Amino acid sequence: MSSQPDVGLSDEDRQKMKAAAISGNPDELLPNGEFTTPVRAPSDAGAEPVEKYPDADESTATRERALNGGEFERLLIGASRLGGERGLEAWSAIVILGRLGLRGGELTHFDSSWVDHYEGVIEIPGHDPCTSGRDGSVCGSCKQAIQQRKGHGDERSVEEIAEQYWMPKTAAAVRSIPYEWSPRAQEAVSTLVELHGGWPYSFSTIQRRIGNAIEAAPSLAEGATSTHGLRATAASYHAGNGLNKEALKQMMGWRDDKTPTKYLQINGQMTRRALSEVYR
C-alpha cells in the first residue's frame, strides 16, 4: 500500500523531521536553525483573560486528543515556524507537556526554583505562592479556583484561601519529574528558565501558543490537541515505550492505579491490533 503524501510538508520540514529522528531516536534535539533571534512578543505584556485548567486525566476525550509520534513532530515543526520568543515558548511548552507530562496549571506556575539542575529533575512543590496577578496578587486561574472552593462551601475568606495558592491538584501531584533522559526536555526546561525564569504568562497563553503551533503545523487539524491532550500524549508515549505502571503513576502524579492501567491497556490493544493486521 502506498503512503499518502504529507500535504503542506516542505523539503525543509522533511529535513527537520529527519533531524528529529522520528524513527530511531525521537528525542534527538531539533536543529538550532529552527528559531530566529528571540524578540519579545509584546502582546503578552498585559492582563490575560481568566481560564480554567481542570485536569480531566481520566476522560476518554482527553486520551483521544493524544498525539502519535508523527503528529507530535508536526506540532513541533509548527512551533518552530512561529519564530522568535513565541516559537521558543511554544516549542518548550509542547515538549514539557507532551514528554514530561506536566498539567496545564503546573506549567502555568513553573518557576526556576522548581528545577534541580544537579539531579536533573523538576520538583513540583506542595505550595508555591502565586504572585502572577496584578500588583503581585494571585493569577486569574487561581482566583477562579478560589471562587470554586467558596462555591463548594469553604467558609474561609478569599484572602485566607488565597494564601494556599498556588498548590497542585492533589497530594500525589507533589512529585519529582526527571528530565535528563531527553535532550529535548533538557533544552525546553533550560530555554524557559533562561528566557523568563520559568513560564511568565497565563494559562490562556499556553493554550494560545499550542493553537498557534497547530495552525502552523503541516497536516494537523484545528483543535488537534490541547494541554490535556499533550499530557495524555506524554502518558501514551511512556506507556508505549514500556514504562511500568508504578513509574508512570509517579511521573504523572496520579492518585490511583486506574488511570495508568487504562493507558497501558490501550497500548496493549494497539499492539494486538497491529499484530493482527500484520499476520492475518
- 244 has a pLDDT exceeding 80: yes
**What confidence score (pLDDT) does residue 274 get?**
65
- 23 has a pLDDT exceeding 50: no
pLDDT (mean) for 26-54: 36
**What confidence score (pLDDT) does residue 217 get?**
97
pLDDT digit string, tens, across residues 108-119 = 999 999 999 999
DSSP reduced 3-state for 52: coil
Residue 15 banded pLDDT, cuts 50, 70, 90: low
- Domain annotation for the chain: domains and CATH numbers: 66-128+167-280 (1.10.443.10), 131-165 (no CATH)
**What confidence score (pLDDT) does residue 279 get?**
78
The verdict on pTM exceeding 0.85 is: no
Which contacts (CB < 8 Å, 24+ apart) does range 75-78 have? 75/210, 75/213, 75/214, 75/217, 75/220, 75/224, 75/225, 76/20, 76/30, 76/213, 77/13, 77/16, 77/17, 77/216, 77/217, 77/218, 78/212, 78/213, 78/214, 78/215, 78/216, 78/217, 78/218, 78/220
**Cell numbers found for residue 129:** 505562592
**What confidence score (pLDDT) does residue 69 get?**
92
pLDDT digit string, tens, across residues 126-185 = 999 998 887 788 998 899 889 988 888 999 999 999 999 999 988 999 999 999 999 999
